[in-house]
Amino acid sequence: MFRMQTKILPGRPYPLGATWDGFGVNFAIYSELGEQVELCLFNSYDAPETERLRLPERTTYVWHGYIKGLQPGQLYGYRVHGPYEPE
Judged against a pLDDT cut of 70, whether residue 6 lies above it is answered with yes
CA–CA distance, 68 with 71 (Å, rounded to integer): 9
Q: What angle do CA 47, 9, 41 make, to 5 degrees?
A: 5
Average pLDDT, the chain: 92
* pTM assigned to the model: 0.89
Mean pLDDT of 36-63: 95
pLDDT of residue 26: 98
CA–CA distance, 24 with 2 (Å, rounded to integer): 20
